[in-house]
Chain A
């Protein structure tokens, strides 16, 4: 297993006696992309502000590569790159001037790095225009550019897909995956829309009312996937016959219109198909339906309600 890059231990935040974040524990490893999902107002941005040192912790600890953000701020901050909420830049400066400005805040960002980053995020065309003329998508790219200037080990992106069109989202998704795989960067992406970031994450955590209510892998291990039951839809001609066959394998099936729906593990699917064929059942189709994360998310959070 790779090393822990970001670690939150029993993190709490109280603002004016209201508990905004209640005992959040969370670990992100190097090279892992973590989706931080929650409805608006659940405490995503507050958590992110604490990680990057913009807010004090009421209780608990946050460590970046083992360095506490509160006690060893400089060492921790050196390894962090972030966009917090909207990627706001100096509007009266060009993209290049903005990047140079932030590059000067590090001791060890070489001169050529700014150019390198501009090409990486694909802003070569517009980099010498003033940021006030940028579209939201261009500002998002510039935001990512400033966050990776100093090659941080941990990258925090707050709603990076906000205001992007599907093509833009795909581009950012590819780019983030590349950072994680090639540079071993730990990436934390927050979003209130699961569907937008589901595809780029290895793991997601869902936060609601300041509590991390569930964490799960997006791309489950094949072994694990073989063990868990999934919904299988069987499109067959002789439904009654098929139900009997399934019963002989100790599987329950329900009739939904002209189709049968059953719960079984991935491993048993070929077995079931064999049996059905042997019994002379005509099969038009077999579809495994994975419960979508979106469904689970909505079930867990009770929809996207601002509280």
Chain B
């Protein structure tokens, strides 16, 4: 088993020794902090600082929001108004904007983490073919299954590290530009059961957690494609297309009953929490089963092709 960790170490070493990986990290870091720089440098998007007079401030804010709604003839501020009313009713002092809330808002950037993980997953096998090193890798006294497994796990260790990096950079950026709300602050959020007052840490965990499902499935798909075709471009292309366009595809077919069997229809497990279930009759158990079936099929195909192949030149 110690041998397996050596293999995992090797794979991670090959990922992190390359400059291109660090370029990806720098770009992700800039995007993660960039939001904070933009928000803090434009006055009209600055978050409100609540003082001891917060009750009056909230009421004023709500009046202004109502006015906005009437002006535009569309009630896009309703959530915010309801949250403010909830705070006033329950006598909860609103939390000033800070690192935790900024990190929560940055959850959309998990898509970029997925993107980077797909790139790594698509190239971890095909690069060995490209460099010609696949021959040196597969003549060792280690079965191909174990080599494949070490690479597969290395991809997700990379994904996890990158996720942690995004979290840390967001927290740091948020703390520098907006301040730190404390180690376990709570805030009001909208859920399927209406407004609730919850700790932000849990909310951050669950928001990031739900998106990991998409990351794992798309990366596994890309890994399978690149293992079969020995080509990273096809895998990256398909992976990114489906990552971005999965919702559109589901949207097109959602009128049909069978569309619930599509991978994309089952990627967003959060719908069972919020109650916006995509197709009637879908349950959390159904989605998890579908995800496992897809995952097993992807891994089995990759394994089959990697194991059975004669290694020849490209």
Contacts and interface: CB of A to CB of B under 8 A. Distances in A.
Interface of A: 15, 49, 52-56, 73-75, 77-78, 80, 82, 84-86, 88-93, 97, 101-102, 104-107, 146
B229 interface: no
10 tightest A-B CB contacts, nearest first:
A88-B132, A54-B311, A104-B6, A77-B141, A78-B141, A55-B310, A105-B140, A74-B141, A52-B139, A84-B135
Contact of B135 (A54, A75, A91, A107): A54
Contact of A56 (B3, B10, B14, B310): B310
A207 B241 CA distance: 50
11 contacts: A80-B139, A88-B131, A89-B133, A90-B133, A91-B131, A92-B19, A97-B13, A97-B17, A102-B136, A104-B6, A106-B141
B263 interface: no
A90 B9 contact: no
Interface of B: 2-3, 6-7, 9-10, 13-14, 17-19, 131-133, 135-143, 310-313
A74 B143 contact: yes
B132 A77 contact: no
A91 to B, nearest CB: 7
Contacts of B137: 105
B14 A105 contact: no
A49 B313 contact: no
B135 A53 contact: no
Given A49-B310, A84-B135, A106-B140, 7 more contacts: A53-B138, A73-B143, A74-B142, A84-B139, A88-B131, A88-B135, A89-B133
Nearest to B137: A105
Contacts of B6: 104-105
A88 B310 contact: no
A107 B3 contact: yes
Q: Which of B7, B139, B310 gathers most chain A CB within 10 Å? A: B139
A146 B136 contact: yes
A105 B9 CA distance: 10
Contacts of A55: 310-312
B7 A105 contact: yes
A73 to B, nearest CB: 7
Nearest to A101: B10
A49 B140 contact: no
A84 B133 CA distance: 10
B135 A85 contact: yes
Contacts of B13: 97, 101
B72 to A, nearest CB: 54
B139 A104 contact: no
